Amino acid sequence: LPYVATRAIPLRCTDYSETSQVVALITPDMGQIHALAKGSRRAGKKVKTTPWQRLEHYDCVLSMRTKGNLHLLTEWKMRECFPIVHHDLPCQWTGYMATEIVLSCTSENVEDGKTYNCLLALLRRMQRGMDCDMARFVFLSRALRIIGCAPVTDHCVQCNGPLHGLTRFSPAGGGGLCGDCAHSDPQGTAISRGTLAILTRLGTQAGPPPSLRLTRGQRDEIQRAFNEQIQYHLGRPLRCGRFLSVFMD
Ligand SMILES: [Zn+2]
């Protein structure tokens, strides 16, 4: 069986037997994989092993089983840690949300490996002290693009014209609706043109300008739009979605 060396961020670590763990990992080259870390919880005398921890950054070696099966971790070492994700409450919840999205929306394939970079960038931004809301919005914007459900926010999805008038946000329609087309989705929610423009900036390669400051109202509108978009595509609300608004100030 082939051995593969890769980097990984654990999304979920579950105790298995007395001494081991089963971990769900996002990797750059294989997407989401599940693996057994034998003896990871054993207090070793000779070789010191430490249990896997979610949302840290690892180097590891896997003994690969057939696709979709539990692979075997043969070596691992933490290469980078993100204490803020475990100690700061808003960052913690942002971590939960990101984890839930990557767990729910990726599987074992190369293409989904792109979400690894996206998640790593989020963790690094939060650790560097970037505004947690902004870091989360940039992550959401890029992650939704990778998994193929980014909303259109730079023109009306119905008539392809500019977003003028009393604009709405319609996940079922695929994004923003202009005032003239707003009636096409009665479930759509009101969203300001300014917020749609910010959503567009968030989705660009360069990302939002460092000088961009968001008002409380804009933060709420942006998070709500993402929540609605994700809920529509997952077919259920995010488990942690309702907690996030509590921390936004
Ligand atoms: Zn329109």
Distance in Å, CA 151 to ligand 1 centroid: 15
Distance 35 CA to ligand 1 centre (A): 48
User: Where is pLDDT greater, at 1 or 132?
Assistant: 132
Please tell me the distance between residue 129's alpha carbon and the centre of ligand 1 in angstroms. Answer: 39
CB 59 within 8 A of CB 66: no
User: Dihedral, CA atoms, 75, 80, 82, 86, nearest 10 degrees?
Assistant: 20
Going from the Cα of 155 to the center of ligand 1, the distance in angstroms, rounded, reads: 8
Q: For the residues 168-181, what does the mean pLDDT come to? A: 96
Could you tell me the two tokens for 181?
Answer: 């087309």
Strand partners, 16: 20
pLDDT at 43 over 80: no
Helix (H, G, I), strand (E, B) or coil at 218: helix
- Residues 19 and 37 sit within 8 Å (Cβ to Cβ): no
**Cα 167 to averaged position of ligand 1 atoms, centre (Å):** 9
Structure tokens at 132: 């947690």
196 alpha carbon – ligand 1 mean position (Å):
14
Look over the chain and give the mean of its residue pLDDT values, rounded to a whole number.
91
Q: Which of 5, 7, 10 is nearest to 21 (CA)?
A: 10
Single out the residue of 177, 173, 98, 167 nearest to residue 138, CA to CA.
98
Q: What angle do the packed helices 89-105 and 216-234 form, to 10 degrees?
A: 30
pLDDT at 248: 55
Predicted structure pTM score? 0.91
- How far is the centre of ligand 1, averaged over its atoms, from the C-alpha of 161 (Å)? 6
The neighbouring-strand residues paired with 35 are 23, 71
Q: What is the spatial order of strands in the sheet that 175-177 belongs to?
A: 175-177, 168-170, 189-190
Ligand 1: centre distance to CA 208 (Å):
26
pLDDT at position 211: 87
* Mean pLDDT, range 84-109, rounded to an integer: 94
Per-residue pLDDT at 247: 55
- Per-residue pLDDT averaged across 195-203, rounded? 93
Question: Token pair of 19, please?
Answer: 């001494």
pLDDT band (50, 70, 90) for residue 235: confident
Mean pLDDT of 118-143: 95
Say how many Å lie between the CA of residue 200 and the centre of ligand 1.
17
218 CA to middle of ligand 1, Å?
Answer: 22
pLDDT of 26-39, one tens digit each?
999 999 999 999 98
CA 183–ligand 1 middle distance (angstroms): 10
Residue 49 binned pLDDT confidence (cut-offs 50, 70, 90): confident
C-alpha 187 to ligand 1 mean position (Å): 16
> In angstroms, rounded to a whole number, what is the distance separating the alpha carbons of residues 203 and 160?
19
Write out pLDDT tens, residues 58-80: 999 999 998 778 999 999 999 99
- For residue 47, the model assigns a pLDDT of 61
Q: Give the percent of the chain with pLDDT over 90.
A: 79
pLDDT the model gives residue 246: 52
